[in-house]
Amino acid sequence: MSMPSDTPKTSSYQPPSIAGNAEALSPRQREWVGVAEELGRTRFAPRAALHDREASFPMENFDDLRQAGLLALCVPEANGGLDGDFASYALVVAELGRHCGATALSFNMHASACMGAGFIADALDMSAAQRREHERHRAEHFEHIVRDGKLYAQPFSEGGAAAAGKAAWSTLAQKVDGGYIINGRKIFASLSGSADFYGVLCTLDKPGATQRDTLYLAVPADAPGLSIAGEWDPLGMRGTVSRNLLLHDVFVPDGARLLPEGLYHQASKRYPYMFATLSPTYMGIAQAAFDFTVMYLRAELPGMTPVKRRMYPTKQAAVAEMRIKLEQTRALFLQSVREARFDPDEGARQRLYAAHFTVMENANAICTLALRTCGGQAMLRSLPLERLYRDSRCGSLMLPWTAELCMDRLGRECLYDDAERDEFIE
Ligand SMILES: Cc1cc2nc3c(=O)[nH]c(=O)nc-3n(C[C@H](O)[C@H](O)[C@H](O)COP(=O)(O)OP(=O)(O)OC[C@H]3O[C@@H](n4cnc5c(N)ncnc54)[C@H](O)[C@@H]3O)c2cc1C
């Protein structure tokens, strides 16, 4: 190692743009990503360690996002929002993920509710009456966001097969006059205790109900019968505060529907990109681990002992390997983000599984390489790498597209046409 001089010099390292070539962004995307970068670097990154240590929700970050107008990123223009599409969403969240994974992942939950009721709903087949009713309902929800800066969460998971897309939700919504009565239990409700509305998936309570009878309902945080329970002391993504949500005879009015009855199922079949909304956060984490490594080896990282480590061929080879992995990940990520569309053909759908899998797995692989390359002092809690490493581990555990289930779907869909089946042979 070279000898310490004094404190680290100001870094001349220019981290690559999360979008690869920033020129490829539209002027509005450049502006939104720029705001996310500025907030992330100057405010969210300095706050990240404390929220991670305390496992507390970074509400100040959401105050900043609210003030910057980004809570309305995916709200349609007609409803006073910024009208961001899937690619804009993904680029902004990847940038946030670079500075605070928990903020990015929580923002994903909020933005997903906006996308579901917004541009995803716009492309779905529904009757004129359903469309009119949906316009009325979503106008209320979007007003909560645009005018009042409210936060939406999306607790779908229940710990059973439903979140993997293999069964109906066990949370039930019974139709009553003017609304629904909801009963059930959700696990891993990110933003628990901090969201203003919880967008829950439940099954319409009727004989023989299946996944087709899924309802997407926004439950106000102060609805009688809603409570939050359970410990939250996880390995990573600690700032998401993803505790359990208990729903006991909770009444919500018809206007709670974020999508008309029966249409969530159509959305899930026709717009698989809605399941890939989790990966942009981890693209940001992968980039952050790479940036950390370069600055650490150059001894330019605030808070480190100013010892250069970049002159060893093993370090240079490891950084090259990391950069190649990062660019491979980014290439697939950007391609799938930019080709997001309704009713993707087989090729685009399979590429999306591959992209999601690659981002989730490579984020952790890049963090692992970063730790091995930077060495022991780099894993101290005074530096962000060990948090990136722990956060990165969470991505491929997230349903419905865990790493395993992506492989499962990809393998099957490569080998079978939609209706094809084989006799099972032992
Ligand atoms: C930090 C964090 C935040 C989260 N926030 C949210 C949130 O806000 N909202 C939300 O809805 N969820 C959230 N989740 C939950 C997440 O999406 C998963 O539901 C959860 O991690 C699943 O955990 P489990 O132990 O219940 O998985 P299990 O259901 O026990 O599955 C374990 C593994 O088995 C495999 N598997 C599961 N089912 C099948 C099947 N039918 N066929 C084949 N293989 C299968 C999968 O690979 C899966 O990873 C969050 C998770 C984390 C880690």
The CATH number linked to 105 is 1.10.540.10
Both 282 and 166 in one domain: the answer is no
Q: Record the pTM.
A: 0.96
Q: Quote the ligand 1 centre to 277 CA distance (angstroms).
A: 15
Ligand 1 atom at shortest distance from the alpha carbon of 408 = 43
Both 314 and 331 in one domain: the answer is yes
* Residue type for position 28: R
Sign of the torsion angle spanned by Cα atoms 126, 129, 131, 133: negative
Q: Where are the beta strands (DSSP E) in 152-253?
A: 152-153, 172-176, 179-189, 197-204, 214-220, 226-229, 243-253
Longest dimension (CA), the chain: 76
Residue in 285, 402, 409 to alter for ligand 1 test, most ligand atoms within 8 A of Cβ: 402
Q: Does the residue 341 lie in any domain? A: yes
Q: Quote the ligand 1 centre to 255 CA distance (angstroms).
A: 29
Judge if the beta carbon of residue 155 lies within 6 A of ligand 1: yes
Whole-angstrom Cα distance, residue 373 to residue 296?
Answer: 10
Q: Quote the ligand 1 centre to 133 CA distance (angstroms).
A: 33
Judge if the beta carbon of residue 394 lies within 6 A of ligand 1: yes
* Residue type for position 156: F
Q: Quote the ligand 1 centre to 20 CA distance (angstroms).
A: 31
Q: Does the residue 4 lie in any domain? A: no
Burial category of 421 from C-beta neighbours within 10 Å (exposed 0-12, middle 13-18, buried 19 and up): exposed
DSSP SS3 for 348: helix
Both 277 and 405 in one domain: the answer is yes
Both 54 and 97 in one domain: the answer is yes
Q: Does the residue 248 lie in any domain? A: yes
Both 296 and 317 in one domain: the answer is yes
Boundary-marking domain end, from 146, 167, 197: 146
Both 175 and 47 in one domain: the answer is no
pLDDT at position 204 is 97
Q: How many beta carbons lie within 10 A of that of residue 188, not counting itself?
A: 23
Q: Does the residue 41 lie in any domain? A: yes
Sorted by sequence, the CB contacts under 8 Å of residue 54 that are 6+ apart come out as: 238
CA distances from 58 to 102, 190, 238, 239 (A): 8, 12, 10, 6
CB 405 within 8 A of CB 412: no
Q: Does the residue 15 lie in any domain? A: no
Please report, in tens digits, the pLDDT of each residue of the chain (426 residues total).
Answer: 444 444 556 778 888 788 877 778 999 999 999 999 999 999 999 999 999 999 999 999 999 999 999 999 999 999 999 999 999 999 999 999 999 999 999 999 999 999 999 999 999 999 999 999 999 999 999 999 999 999 999 999 999 888 888 899 999 999 999 999 999 999 999 999 999 999 999 999 999 999 999 999 999 999 999 999 999 999 999 999 999 999 999 999 999 999 999 999 999 999 999 999 999 999 999 999 999 999 999 999 987 888 999 999 999 999 999 999 999 999 999 999 999 999 999 999 999 999 999 999 999 999 999 999 999 999 999 999 999 999 999 999 999 999 999 999 999 999 998 888 887 655
Q: Does the residue 42 lie in any domain? A: yes
Q: Does the residue 423 lie in any domain? A: no
Q: Quote the ligand 1 centre to 259 CA distance (angstroms).
A: 23
Boundary-marking domain end, from 238, 262, 286: 262
Ligand 1, atom 43, lies closest to the CA of 405
Whole-angstrom Cα distance, residue 180 to residue 418?
Answer: 35
Both 279 and 394 in one domain: the answer is yes
pLDDT at position 210 is 95
Q: Does the residue 212 lie in any domain? A: yes
Boundary-marking domain end, from 96, 115, 146: 146
Domains: count for the chain: 3
Judge if the beta carbon of residue 156 lies within 6 A of ligand 1: yes
Judge if the beta carbon of residue 398 lies within 6 A of ligand 1: yes
Q: How many beta carbons lie within 10 A of that of residue 140, not counting itself?
A: 13
Both 295 and 401 in one domain: the answer is yes
Both 341 and 404 in one domain: the answer is yes
Residue the block writes with tokens 């018809």? 254
Residue in 109, 397, 405 to alter for ligand 1 test, most ligand atoms within 8 A of Cβ: 397
* Residue type for position 366: I
Q: Which domain holds residue 241?
A: 152-262
Measure CA 74 to chain center.
14
Judge if the beta carbon of residue 152 lies within 6 A of ligand 1: no
pLDDT at position 3 is 42
Both 104 and 133 in one domain: the answer is yes
> Among 220, 218, 190, 28, which Cα is nearest to 117's?
218
Residue in 105, 156, 157 to alter for ligand 1 test, most ligand atoms within 8 A of Cβ: 157
Whole-angstrom Cα distance, residue 122 to residue 110?
Answer: 18
Judge if the beta carbon of residue 237 lies within 6 A of ligand 1: yes
Local structure of residue 4 (DSSP, 8 states): P
Whole-angstrom Cα distance, residue 57 to residue 60?
Answer: 9
Both 223 and 111 in one domain: the answer is no
Q: Quote the ligand 1 centre to 242 CA distance (angstroms).
A: 12
The CATH number given to whatever domain includes residue 202 is 2.40.110.10
CB 53 within 8 A of CB 88: no
> Among 345, 332, 174, which Cα is nearest to 250's?
174
Q: What b/e string do you get for 52-91 counting C-beta neighbours within 10 Å, with b at 16 or more?
A: beebbbbeebbebbbeeebbbbbbbeebebbbbbbbbbbb
Judge if the beta carbon of residue 206 lies within 6 A of ligand 1: no
Both 128 and 179 in one domain: the answer is no
Q: Rg of the Cα trace of the chain?
A: 22
Return the structure tokens found at 333.
Answer: 């990520």
Ligand 1, atom 13, lies closest to the CA of 188
Judge if the beta carbon of residue 77 lies within 6 A of ligand 1: no
The CATH number given to whatever domain includes residue 358 is 1.20.140.10
pLDDT at position 4 is 45
Per-position DSSP letters for 115-165, written without gaps between them: HIIIIIHHHS---HHHHHHHHHHHHHHHHHHHTT---EE-----SSSGGGT
